[in-house]
Every structure is written in structure tokens, then in C-alpha cells.
Amino acid sequence: MKIVDVALATAAAPVYFPLARNDRGVFADGGLVGNAPGLFGLHEVKTFLAPKQDALVRVLAIGTMTIGATVRGGASLDRGFGKWRGGLFDLVISAQESSVDYMLRQALGNNYFQIDDKATPDQSKDVKALDRVSIGATNTLKDRGNHAAQRALGDPLFHPFRAHQAGAPIFYHGPNKNVPEATC
């Protein structure tokens, strides 16, 4: 496939962009089911890249300071669609990220590390306004990002991720191809 077709398919976020049609079908934004894609990556390694190997797999998840769907103290828990409104999308994304985080922690133990910082309800107000770029939203994102990075740098479980040296890439196609035809 052409890169442009893949990009249009994966970025076809409902409401923002139209669905994408190509030779393989009709596609919507991959974030609808894979907003936290670490579990998909683990599946790809175990199923396709190293299916019969005991490969060391590490997953570093860099979050997006998910707003989540918080409910204050004594608020009614019987919310219905009318009370959720736009918060329903935040709830779905937050629930997906939380479940992926839980499953990766179970599957990989210390070989999984997440860098993220959950927004408080007050910070969420600034972050929700991000579409209308504001000083408050920008400062909140910078401050929370710096806080999450500092916390990760001080965590000994993050050391193996910082110390990792990637091997030389293998190219099967294109001008940088470095694998003979017989092994492709």
C-alpha cells in the first residue's frame, strides 16, 4: 500500500476527518480500538516477529495525559447519556488505556514502563480547551510532561529502557535494502 493510504486510514478520526476507502476496505482511526497500542505491539511480536522464540520484549508506553472521566465526590453515579455528553468519549478512551496498562503490567512485569501523568479535574479543564490553544493548556501540558519525565528518570525500573541500544535496522525493500532476495 502507499504510505498516504495507510496514513489516511489510521487518521480517519470520526467527526474530525472522513472515513478512508482503499483497495482493502473502509477504515476509521486506529485509536478507536488501539489508543494505547502497547498490547497490539506485544501481539505482533509474539505472533509474527518472534512467534516461537523466547524473545525479551520491553514496552515503553508514553501517555498523552489522558483526561479520563472523573466524577467528583458526592456526584450521582447514575449518569445516563445526557449527563455524560462529551465526557463519554473521554470515558471510553480512559477505560481502554487503563485496561491495556493493567494487561501489559501482568504480561511483562518490569519489562513494561509507562510514562504518563493523569490530569486532575481542574487540569482537565485547561487540557480540554487545547483545541483553542491557550496559555493555560500549554503550560499544563508542559508542566505535567516535565513532572512525568522527572518521575521516570528517577525510577530504577526505567533504567533498562534508557540503557537500551537498538541493533542495526534490517531493510527488506527500497533503496536501503540490506537483505538478500532469498531471505525476503
Q: What is the pLDDT of residue 14?
A: 84
Q: pLDDT at position 70, please?
A: 63
pTM above 0.95, yes or no: no
Q: Cell for 145?
A: 510532561
Amino acid at 100: V
With H, G, I as helix, E, B as strand and everything else as coil, classify residue 25: strand
Do the Cβ atoms of 119 and 67 come closer than 8 Å?
Answer: yes
pLDDT score of 167? 87
pLDDT of the residue at 114:
95
Provide the residue-wise pLDDT of the chain in tens; the chain has 184 residues.
888 998 999 889 888 889 999 999 999 988 778 888 999 999 999 999 889 888 899 999 998 776 666 666 777 778 777 777 767 777 778 888 889 999 999 999 999 999 988 766 666 666 666 666 778 778 877 888 899 999 999 999 999 999 999 888 888 888 988 887 766 5
Q: Are strands 25-27 and 20-22 parallel, antiparallel or unpaired?
A: antiparallel
Rounded alpha-carbon distances, angstroms, from residue 155 to 114, 149, 150, 158, 162: 11, 10, 9, 6, 11
Domain residue spans of the chain: 1-34, 36-70+81-165
Q: Tell me the residue ranges of DSSP E strands in 58-170.
A: 59-62, 112-115
